[in-house]
A and B are shown apart, each in its own frame.
Chain A
Amino acid sequence: MADSHDVSKHIKLYVGVFLALLVGTVITVGMYYVHFSSLAMTIGVALLIASIKSFLVAGYFMHLTAEKKTIYVILGITVVFFIGMMGLCIWSLLDTPGPKGV
Chain B
Amino acid sequence: MDIPYTSKPRPDTGLYNAKVGIWLFLASEVMLFGALFSSYILLRMGADKWPGGMLNIPIGTFNTAVLITSSITVLMAWVSLKMHNFAKFKLYMGITILCALGFVGIKSIEYKDKFTHYQVWLNDKDKTTYTGHIEGNPWFLSHNKMDAKKMDHIMFTSDAAHGAAAGGHGGHGAAMKIERKDIARLSAYVPAHSTYFAIYFTLTALHALHVIGGATVLAYFWGPGSAMWKTDPERFTNRIEVGGLFWHFVDLVWIFLFPVLYLL
Contact = CB atoms under 8 A, between A and B. Distances in A.
A65 interface: no
Contact of B27 (A29, A75, A85): A75
B263 A46 contact: yes
A32 B64 CA distance: 15
A93 B41 CA distance: 9
Contacts, number: 124
B38 A86 contact: yes
Contacts of B69: 18
A73 to B, nearest CB: 10
B68 A18 contact: yes
Interface residues of B, number: 47
Q: Contact size class for A?
A: 35 or more
A57 B251 contact: yes
Given A21-B71, A74-B27, A82-B30, 17 more contacts: A2-B82, A7-B79, A8-B83, A11-B79, A14-B72, A22-B68, A46-B260, A47-B259, A57-B252, A61-B72, A71-B19, A74-B20, A85-B31, A90-B41, A96-B46, A98-B45, A100-B45
A32 to B, nearest CB: 4
B27 to A, nearest CB: 4
B141 interface: no
17 contacts: A4-B82, A4-B84, A25-B258, A29-B263, A46-B259, A50-B259, A61-B71, A61-B248, A68-B13, A69-B14, A70-B20, A71-B15, A71-B23, A74-B24, A82-B30, A93-B41, A96-B46
